[in-house]
Amino acid sequence: MSNKIHREITPLQEDDCFLVFDRKRKLFNFPVHFHPEYELNFIANADGARRVVGDHMEEIDDLELVMVGPNLYHGWENYKNSGSVLLHEVTLQFPGDLFQNQLLQKNILKPIRELLHNSNRGILFSKETSLMAAERLIHMSKKRSFDSYIEFQSLLYDLAISRDQRLLTNISFQKNNDFYNSDKIEKIYNFVRDNYTQRIKLEDAANLLNMSIVSFSRLIKQRTGKSFVDFVNEVRLGYATRMLIETTKSVSEICYECGFNNISNFNRTFKKKQNCTPSEFRTNFNGERNVY
């Protein structure tokens, strides 16, 4: 199934810092794809279209701004959008090595470091932030100067500190996820990742950090916004959705390989997170698409 997802060769050259494309068209015509560059995508007048980012799919409103990290599946499909209004798309791409790791460790760049890290799960920004960024992106698309590079850096920083950001994919959908800002959570994530196919007990995870169950549960809730059970299920769902996309294994096989104890529980947990059953998710992702 992974052959339905295209590897895009972007026009970025080795000596490019970034590229901006400003285009207007009736309908989306590029399939779900991935590439090693970071991408920031502003879209207007596409009400009813569908956003696909990793294992996330959702119908969109009239405008939005999304950032995706390297090699994360993404694309926009026409879905319910008829093309009656000319859609406007402004895309900014920049290479992953533009910011050297040593530079990103500086305190002043911490927000940008976190922005780049979070983009590995896909970031949806608020409408207010989208409108703020749109004018600046359009302006950058018309200029090629050092001033535009300064504006690019400034825009990334403003996006990094903007409010109401929403991460789109499940925790474990990206294979190389990490929690660099919390050693304890990273340790628990690695424990869950290594054992997600088996039964995972709350007390075993708490013992790993030498904490009581109450203190451990409070820590998980504070740092992830989820209960430990929900955290474990999200890790399992990340692996499950990737298998639904990339393999031909049956839903039943995927259910048990990802640590769910029965099909009904798997379907219920999956639908609560994805608003569709595993079978519907596979059909939506790999079935016939409204692309022209």
pLDDT of residue 181: 56
Please check whether residue 7 is in contact with residue 35, taking contact to mean a CB–CB distance below 8 angstroms. Answer: yes
Cβ atoms within 10 Å of 131's Cβ, excluding its own: 14
pLDDT of residue 2: 43
Write out the chain's pLDDT in tens, 292 residues. 444 667 777 787 778 889 998 989 999 888 888 899 999 999 999 999 999 999 999 999 999 999 999 999 999 999 898 888 999 999 999 998 888 777 888 888 899 999 999 999 999 999 999 999 998 998 888 777 788 889 999 999 999 999 999 999 988 876 655 555 578 888 898 899 899 999 999 999 999 999 999 999 999 988 888 899 999 999 999 999 989 988 899 999 999 999 998 999 999 999 998 889 999 998 888 654 333 2
Three-class SS of 21-90 = EEEEECCCCCCCEECCCEEEEEEECCCCCEEEECCEEEECCCEEEEEECCCCCEEEECCCCCCCCCEEEE
Q: How far apart are CA 34 and CA 54, in angstroms?
A: 10
pLDDT of residue 245: 87
Q: Helix 278-286 crosses helix 228-246 at what angle (to 10 degrees)?
A: 40
pTM, entire model: 0.79
Please check whether residue 78 is in contact with residue 27, taking contact to mean a CB–CB distance below 8 angstroms. Answer: yes
Q: Phi then psi for 177, rounded to 5 degrees?
A: -70, 155
